[in-house]
Structure 1
């Protein structure tokens, strides 16, 4: 693997954001097993453009995301490609827990008493992070939950897969355009654990190898080739202006 440009460990119940330039890959590692990483994506040059979950799933004919899939913006462009997924399934539908849901499952949070062990929730964590860029509640689109799996049973009910991710599992996202990335390590909203789950995720950024003509993400669906072409036209126009 290429040498890391930066590496950081995101503690449990934390949030973070960064702009990942085109041509770079985020290497995300579940440190201890059982992690959850809720993510959102925006165009840093036009914050109105953001990750679109329905288009991402519809155009790739899938309910889950994993290696070989792309993450689309609401402008039909590819934010990033999933070039590695050791877990085989990324949750696309469950969203994040809010303060009330977290309190009902794991008790009230109290920073004064718990300090850095307080029970933060994913909704508030993302809201704090997007506020740094002038965004608010209306800008919180449907998110992804990396390292987590939600599937359906025979009756069509959503089920959370326990122990889905193991210690050392890696997911790599290769960015096809400059992207503002938001994420939080707060627990998955469907996690049935009796105690508030606390799991870290390591984040590294490396330079990506060039996209080859036989690239899995580019060729997994005809729609993806069109998404990459939309990127090419968008980036060419930006260079001209």
Structure 2
């Protein structure tokens, strides 16, 4: 189709309406072709390609399911309270408060205010990491020859910078991230052993316990020993649900978790949000 003129370019652009690419958001999300059976109304439906990123603001109680479609996705995650971005994911407290460095079903993702940002309500992968963070420009340049966002081997932190800017945040707002679908284990000598992926189709479901700004970067894990840049598509689906409340099994799973939920609820109640 001729695109040398404004009319031709417009016709070409309009001809793309309704086309689907492998990696793209579906708008509206309710048009997603195969929604989960147990999901409520979809509010976010997107496939994030290898080396890509995504971001969205989600309401309290929303459930977010990430799926490793082909076995080589690695979902690096950052969370910020939507109207208070200075309250954000704190990986050190997430590990320290729960006496456990390994993420999985029943774990909570905490801020440095002693409050719950999100909870892990389902997990079929078990290959996650709260220790290493994501890849950097310097590291990817040394390893692959480039780490800029526009390259074939973008670094996770560089993609996070782009996602952050689109939500009014800057590089100084970016703390260490969590990683889903590519895990590490700590040996008795303190060395990290890469455990890799659980394989295609593994998923993890998070529940937003406050209104959250979610940033995702789908890039290889920084300690993945394979010499080439391997990153395959990540499916992202979110739907309306409800926040965790008293009486839920997750609320009382541990004394530390119960205290974090109480801190969260008291804070939200004071603002008329719970």
TM-score computed with the length of structure 1 as normaliser: 0.90
| Inter-partner Cα distance in structure 2 for 1:110 and 1:74 | 30
Specify the SS of the correspondent of 2:250.
Answer: helix
1:80-229 matched pairs, under 5 angstroms: 80-108=118-146, 118-162=152-196, 164-209=197-242, 211=244, 213-229=246-262
| Inter-partner Cα distance in structure 2 for 1:132 and 1:213 | 35
Match of 2:32 in 1: none
RMSD: 2.0
Structure 2 CA distance for partners of 1:209 and 1:237, relative to 1, 3 Å: closer
Structure 2 CA distance for partners of 1:32 and 1:226, relative to 1, 3 Å: same
Q: Which has the higher contact order (CA 8 A, sep 6+)?
A: 1
Larger gyration radius, structure 1 or structure 2: 2
Note if contact 2:87-2:113 (Cα within 8 Å) is conserved in structure 1: yes
Query: Deviations 1:107-133 (Å, cap 9, x if unpaired)?
Result: 33688xxx7x72111011111211223
Q: Which runs of 5+ in 2 are unaligned?
A: 1-37
| Inter-partner Cα distance in structure 2 for 1:110 and 1:136 | 17
Structure 2 CA distance for partners of 1:137 and 1:215, relative to 1, 3 Å: same
Matching of residue 69 in structure 1 with residue 117 in structure 2: no
Q: Which runs of 5+ in 1 are unaligned?
A: none
Structure 2 CA distance for partners of 1:154 and 1:226, relative to 1, 3 Å: closer
Matching of residue 16 in structure 1 with residue 49 in structure 2: no
TM-score computed with the length of structure 2 as normaliser: 0.80
Matching of residue 2 in structure 1 with residue 39 in structure 2: yes
Aligned positions, number: 235
Match of 1:235 in 2: 268
